[in-house]
Amino acid sequence: MSGRRTQPTDARPQDLPTKAELARLRVEYGKDARLAFLGHLDLIGTVERCVRRSGLPFSIGNGFARRMRIQFSSALPVGASSACELFDVRLTERVAEDEALERLREAAPAALAPVRCAYVDGALPALEAWLNRATWEVELVGAPFDAAELGAGISEVARRGEIVYMRGEREKCVDVSATLVGVEQVGESALRLETRSTTAGALRPRVLLDAACAAAGLGQPEAVRVRRALQRHEAEDGRLVEPFGPFGIEGRAPLS
């Protein structure tokens, strides 16, 4: 039939490997500043096409749609760039890590080029839920105030304990006491934020900055540049685990 979409394999769903039988390749890549306004769904589609072009033996799911078995870290806010985006792709057979990285680099645009990859335990939780800590770099451009004044506004927001704001037509509430871990001034017009995501939600840097400006009676900067610099997992005992491990108690990740 003309125009009919073909499936990537003719195998029956019940004959395909299960997740437990598949290699799980974790890939870290950057999202260049010029792609800051590329939406998450567009990003997913672009990365999936890169994986296909790389020729890696990716696995497909057993469902009717037969989609690629790939998971991504949490979506970036629109307008933010990143040095630490991640995805996990399941492979039907192992390819040497250095070869897989080279093939992915050749298949990806420079602004989304992978920087490293490694195989990780297939039983780990999905990236989006597991990576619950983030470090953000925030630069104010053309602001009628400095980072110290903004820091005072953030302290006032933290004292109040929550931020209520509109997202589209819906009112949202974020618990600042649970999601804001720390703030550090790194220049006259730059801050570093440490945040935590919870089951109730996450704190977006721009939401925090807008609330801080309002709390301190500050004007608005001409622009705000936001960059996600690091993603990690915070364990129940407070350990901060790097995305590529070590993951267990015996091989403790460095405390941060």
Encode pLDDT of 145-175 as tens digits.
988 899 999 999 999 999 999 888 889 999 9
The structure tokens 């630490």 sit at 84
Arithmetic mean of pLDDT, 21-33: 93
Q: What is the pLDDT of residues 76-125, one digit of tens each?
A: 999 999 999 999 999 999 999 999 999 999 999 999 999 999 999 998 99
- Bigger pLDDT: 179 or 11? 179
Task: Collapse the DSSP code of 176 into the 3-class scheme (helix H, G, I; strand E, B; otherwise coil) and give the result.
Answer: helix
Q: What is the pLDDT of residues 189-242, one digit of tens each?
A: 999 999 999 988 899 999 999 999 999 999 999 999 999 999 999 999 999 999
pLDDT of 253 reads 43
- Cα 256 to Cα 127: distance, rounded to the nearest angstrom: 20
Residue 9 in this model has a pLDDT that exceeds 60: no
pLDDT of 251 reads 41
The structure tokens 């999601």 sit at 179
- Cα 49 to Cα 112: distance, rounded to the nearest angstrom: 12
pLDDT of 63 reads 67
Q: Which helix (H) or strand (E) holds 180?
A: strand 180-187
pLDDT band, residue 252 (cuts 50/70/90): very low
Query: Domains plus CATH for the chain?
Result: 18-129 (3.30.70.580), 131-241 (3.30.70)
pLDDT of 20 reads 63
Structure tokens at 15: 């004959």
pLDDT of 42 reads 95
